């Protein structure tokens, strides 16, 4: 039984592979896999340690044409889904001094310029709308790959992307006067399933 299931999975994988190859040229649409897409941020806490948090709800879509070296992505996160492991801090971050989640429930990153080396994405240039302000932001890839998911029987492309931003440029001044740094490092995990 176990063997048969494994054989079935292998066949599905192989078939997905054929489909992947058949549809290999030209642009393809991908839907974000919300279970493997998340935005983590890091902020230095005074001069000692690094505080981390994440946004738990992200959705969006990606168009990718690896042969032509083109792509487009749109990712929206729910600002109220911020999670640091410290509930009191999460409330402060959702408040008007920081993310102001009631007035600005979403933050959106839109990119129409993917930078490739060969068929691998190395950077994604676009703009981030956060707290009602839209400013340019480029995410650099630290990993990028496409694989055939044995569970989903579909091609999945994804990677890890990083950027550092000054939160005050988006109007988030919370704690600056107390010495909490302006600089925030974003670590974005993305996986997207070929449709």
Within 19-38, the residues that bind other proteins by CB under 8 A are 34-36, 38
Task: Output the CA torsion 89→93→96→98 (10° steps).
Answer: 130
**Does 152 participate in binding other proteins (rule CB under 8 A)?**
no
If DSSP codes are grouped into helix, strand and coil, which group holds residue 13? helix
* Interaction between residue 160 and other proteins (CB under 8 A): yes
Stretch that binds other proteins, among 15-23, 106-114, 128-136, 140-148 (CB under 8 A): 140-148
Give the C-alpha distances (Å, rounded to integers) separating 102 from 41, 80, 141, 195. 21, 8, 32, 33
Q: Is 40 near other proteins (CB under 8 A)?
A: yes
Please identify which residue in 12, 31, 56, 129 interacts with other proteins, judged by CB under 8 A: 56
Work out whether 77 is an interface residue with other proteins (CB under 8 A): no
**Site for other proteins contains 100 (CB under 8 A):** no
Cα-based distances in Å from 58 to 23, 79, 88, 120, 141 = 27, 9, 22, 23, 18
96 lies in the site for other proteins, by CB under 8 A: no
Calpha distance 194→157 (Å, rounded)? 8
Residue with Cβ nearer other proteins (74 or 160): 160
Size of interface with other proteins, in residues (CB under 8 A): 37
């Amino acid at each position: 039984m176990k063997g048969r299931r494994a054989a079935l999975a292998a066949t599905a994988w192989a078939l997905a592979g054929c489909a992947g190859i058949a549809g290999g040229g030209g642009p393809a649409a991908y839907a974000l896999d919300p279970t493997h897409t998340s935005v983590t941020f890091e902020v230095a806490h005074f001069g000692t340690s690094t505080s981390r948090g994440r946004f738990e709800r992200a959705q969006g879509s990606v168009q990718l044409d690896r042969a032509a070296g083109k792509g487009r992505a749109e990712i929206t996160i729910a600002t109220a889904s911020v999670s640091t492991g410290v509930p009191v801090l999460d409330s402060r971050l959702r408040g008007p001094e920081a993310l102001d989640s009631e007035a600005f429930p979403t933050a959106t990153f839109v990119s129409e310029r993917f930078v490739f080396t060969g068929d691998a994405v190395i950077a994604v240039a676009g703009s981030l709308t956060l707290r009602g302000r839209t400013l340019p932001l480029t995410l650099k890839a630290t990993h990028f790959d496409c694989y055939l998911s044995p569970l989903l029987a579909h091609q999945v492309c994804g990677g890890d992307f990083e950027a550092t931003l000054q939160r005050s440029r988006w109007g988030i001044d919370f704690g600056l006067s107390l010495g909490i740094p302006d600089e925030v490092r974003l670590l974005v995990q993305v996986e997207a399933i070929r449709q």
